[in-house]
Chain A
Amino acid sequence: MTKLIYSSEYQSFLIFSFFCIAFWIPVSAETAQHNILKANHEPLKLQGRITYKPDPQKPWKFGRYYLNGPEHYLAEAVVELVHGDDKKQFVVDTERKIKTHLMDQENFMFIPEVIAIQSGDKVRFKNSEEAYHNVMCLNDNPPFNINLGKNQEHLHEPKVAEGAENPLDIRCVFHGAMKGWICVFKHPYFQQTTKSGAFEFSEIPSGDYQLRVVHPAGGLYLETEVRKLKQSSDTRWNIVLTPEHLKAQSK
């Protein structure tokens, strides 16, 4: 027996067994996990376009800034993907790299007017012109109110993250027409539409979802119906906004 245990054949057998166990367990676990995802949560891509259909009797006065092409594609809207089941939450990568977004002040405007960020990201406010400006936000917690002279900056991490439903209102106290908005999300499933009204979500698990669309500058807001999204289904989701979706403008 002792001979057997210490024989070179037996040693080879042990080494072979060790490697088999060491490699088989993780490989089979990964395969199993992959199979589960494939069966229930295979990531899919969701694409769509947002258009706005104005009242022909009273064209939307902000259309000249945000609508493009004869189809009236809506630019600068923010689209949020929401679970159809309220109890479900998106998994958030806590190790993700924190981003810093720029909101400049130029020509008596916040540029860009609207930014969409993930909770934890920072916003760098900057004044790039001669005029003395200010950045005020009363619906963040705590609120903030900072004066900015030429080329001065202020770095801020928004704390209130209420997504498309309640963007942070950014104002300049000295110039009432200067308005900006920050949509802060607790998850990464948000998009801003391009000039052609397009948005795209990738790597989303199959499931029931709805979309929230907000256009703070134009005062538009919409929550869609819940749809089942799975790999085999149509993953294009086009949305048409109308004057019915005009809500009271932010303060």
Chain B
Amino acid sequence: MKNQRTSDPAEKPKNKLNRRQAIGKSLQWTGMSMALPGSVWGAFEQQQADETGIPFEDMPRARENRLDWEMLSEYITPQDQVFNVQHYGMPEFDDDKFTLSISGLVKKPLTLSMDQIRAMPQHHQYMTLECSGNGASKGFMDAIYNSKWTGTHLAPLLKKCGLNPKATEIVFYGKDTKEEVLREGTSRELKIEVPFGRSMTLENAMSLPLLLAYNRNDQPMEFRNGAPLRLIVPGWYGVANVKWLTRIELRDRRYMGRYMARDYVTVRGEKTDQELTYVETSVTRMNLKSIIGRVTRRPSQNGRIPLRAYGAAWSDGTDIDRVEVKLNDGKWQTARWDESIPRHKYCWRFFWIDLAHVTPGEHQLVSRAIDVNERIQPSVEDDEISLKKTYWEAYQQWPRKIKLEI
């Protein structure tokens, strides 16, 4: 692993800020400076002073609290670009009385206050968190962010409680609740008030560095992001990272709450021996994915325009071998990793590539990630995407359109 850094972002040398500012001044968007604030681990140091951003065609404008791909310049996402999704609304509770309990198939159930949790050994987890629906449409391309989470590991706490050997499933409940209606409109209709819950096998829980997090980027986590306590599940989609975490329960059978068994269920056709079978699976681990974040140009030379593309790639923690980029109907070309930023197992990596000098007009660019197991990010025509009938796990290649003038 080249250039791996484990230092705290706050320790970044001061001269870095000046360089970022200098780049920010030079990188123009229709005459405007790009937002490249003084930052930690600023990305794309290879940007040149004469590069100009090219807006993507037919894309909606960036919004507050969403990642701004065209302005991507930070390895750690600024808070004003962090999305939040909640299915049962924002809960109301007294912060001072907030507790976390661990119960069910444990020998010694435990209830902890936030002060007690904060007093436990502190750990950091760098992680890219993506909504599983991110990429389903061009109106939902920006629900992803990268963070440094701080909290305490779950595994030692479970050990302290003493696991009953019968426990196979671990369920995480948030403070947020809602009345769910089952079998609506039938004679067997049932209305029940339930907390938001997600689960995983105990084996999964013990093999991942699950974190009970209270800080994001060395700052207290925002309430909308799950404060005071959020479960962090590295390599899993956002929905697994339960907000306002208040109860952990060990069970000996599968938990079948709405967001495990009814929603966040991917329905996909699978071909076996000429037959197509539809299979329903719960949304859990993140998929291999990449996207071009922005494209820049330089002054034209003999009527042709030099193009450069920047982007990001991420996965469930499986090493990504390379990213390839294709311009129009050309060949796939291998992009270069941005080695100026650190590498963390569960975080995105940034890439960039110099493309051909092109003529004015419309062009299309697309990227694909390939992992160390030679798994290739599929296109929208590939079976695993084209036979998918639900919008979660939207990890298909995403072509970008640009229009160039001389």
Q: Which residues of A pack against B, CB within 8 Å?
A: 57-65, 67, 69-70, 107-109, 113, 131, 172, 175-179, 217, 219, 249
Given A64-B30, A177-B66, A178-B139: 16 more A-B contacts, CB < 8 Å: A59-B24, A59-B33, A59-B36, A61-B62, A63-B32, A63-B35, A70-B31, A108-B138, A108-B139, A113-B61, A175-B139, A177-B60, A177-B63, A177-B142, A217-B61, A249-B64
Which residues of A are found within 8 Å of B30, using beta-carbon distances?
64
Number of interface residues of B (CB under 8 A): 32
Of the candidates A59, A131, A179, A217, the one whose C-beta lies within 8 Å of that of B35 is: A59
Q: Are A61 and B61 in contact (CB under 8 A)?
A: no
CB contacts (< 8 Å) of A217 on chain B: these are: 61
- The answer to whether residues A62 and B58 also contact, given A131-B139, A176-B140 and a CB cut-off of 8 A, is no
Contact across chains for B137 and A67 when beta carbons are under 8 A apart: no
- Are A57 and B32 CB-contacts (below 8 A) given A177-B60, A177-B139? no
**Residue B71 at the chain A interface, CB threshold 8 Å:** yes
Closest 4 pairs (CB-CB, A-B): A108-B139, A175-B139, A249-B64, A61-B35
Give the distance to chain A from B42, nearest Cβ to Cβ, in Å.
13
How close is B393's CB to chain A, nearest CB, in angstroms? 18
Which residue on chain B has the smallest CB distance to residue A72? B32
The minimal Cβ–Cβ distance linking B235 to chain A, given in whole angstroms, is 24
Chain A residues, CB < 8 A from B65: 249
- The 8 A CB mask of B1-32 against A (1 = contact, 0 = none) is 00000000000000000000100100001111
Expressed in whole angstroms, the minimum distance between the Cβ of B239 and any Cβ of chain A is 15
Cα A6 to Cα B272 with chains together (Å): 117
* Cα(A172)–Cα(B62), bound, Å: 15
Q: Does B342 contact A (CB under 8 A)?
A: no
Q: Which residues of A lie under 8 Å from residue B139 when comparing CB positions? A: 108, 131, 172, 175, 177-178
In the complex, are the beta carbons of A179 and B63 less than 8 A apart? yes
Residues of the B chain whose Cβ atoms lie less than 8 Å from the Cβ of A175: 137, 139-140
Q: Does B55 make an interface contact (CB < 8 A)?
A: yes
Whole-angstrom distance between the alpha carbons of A178 and B62 in the complex? Answer: 10
Indicate whether A107 sits within 8 Å of B58 (C-beta atoms), given known contacts A69-B31, A219-B64.
yes
Contacts of B66 in A (CB 8 A): 177
In angstroms, Cα B140 to Cα A172, docked, is: 12
Q: Kindly report which residue of chain A lies nearest to residue B34, judged by CB atoms.
A: A59
B112 at the interface (CB under 8 A from A): no
Instruction: Give Cα A61–Cα B137 distance, bound, in whole angstroms.
Output: 23
Partner among A58, A59, A60, A107 whose Cβ is within 8 Å of the Cβ of B138: A107
Listed by A's residue number, 26 A-B pairs whose Cβ atoms lie within 8 Å are A58-B35, A58-B37, A59-B34, A59-B35, A60-B35, A61-B62, A61-B68, A62-B61, A64-B32, A64-B55, A64-B70, A65-B61, A67-B32, A70-B31, A107-B58, A107-B60, A107-B138, A108-B139, A131-B137, A131-B139, A175-B140, A176-B83, A176-B85, A217-B61, A219-B64, A249-B64
Interface residues of B in 34-52 (CB under 8 A from A): 34-38
Which residues of the partner chain A approach B29 to less than 8 Å between Cβ atoms?
63-64
Q: A69-B31, A70-B31, A177-B142 known; A62 and B62 CB under 8 Å?
A: yes
Q: Does B59 contact A (CB under 8 A)?
A: yes
- Name the residue on B nearest A105 (C-beta): B139
What CA separation (Å) do A198 and B35 show in the bound complex? 25
Q: Which residues of A contact B35 (CB under 8 A)?
A: 58-61, 63
Residues of chain B contacted by A109 (CB below 8 angstroms): 60-61
List CB contacts (< 8 Å) of B60-93 with chain A.
60-66, 68, 70-71, 83, 85
Could you tell me if B138 and A57 are in contact, using CB atoms closer than 8 angstroms? no
CB nearest neighbor in A for B57: A107
Q: Which residues of B contact A131 (CB under 8 A)?
A: 137, 139
> Which residues on B sit within 8 Å (CB–CB) of A61?
35, 62, 68, 71
Chain B residues contacting A67 (CB-CB under 8 Å) are 32
Residue of B nearest to A249 (CB): B64
- Chain A residues with CB below 8 A from B34, complex form: 59, 64
CB of B243, distance to nearest CB on chain A (Å): 17
In the complex, which of the residues B36, B71, B140 contacts A177, with contact meaning CB atoms closer than 8 Å?
B140
A108–B137 Cα distance when bound, in Å, is: 9
Q: Is the CB of A57 within 8 A of B38?
A: yes
Measured between C-beta atoms, what is the minimum distance from B24 to chain A in Å?
7
Taken together as a complex, chains A and B put the C-alpha atoms of A99 and B55 apart, in Å, by 35
How far is A73 from B63 in the complex, measured between Cα atoms in Å?
Answer: 20
Closest chain B residue to A61 by CB distance? B35
A57 B21 Cβ-Cβ under 8 A: yes
A74 to chain B minimum Cβ distance, whole angstroms, is 12
CB distance from A109 to the nearest CB of B (A): 4
Q: What CA separation (Å) do A48 and B339 show in the bound complex? A: 49
Contact A108 B32 (CB under 8 A): no
A108–B35 alpha-carbon span in the complex (Å): 24
The distance in angstroms between the C-alpha atoms of A48 and B12, with both chains bound, is 45
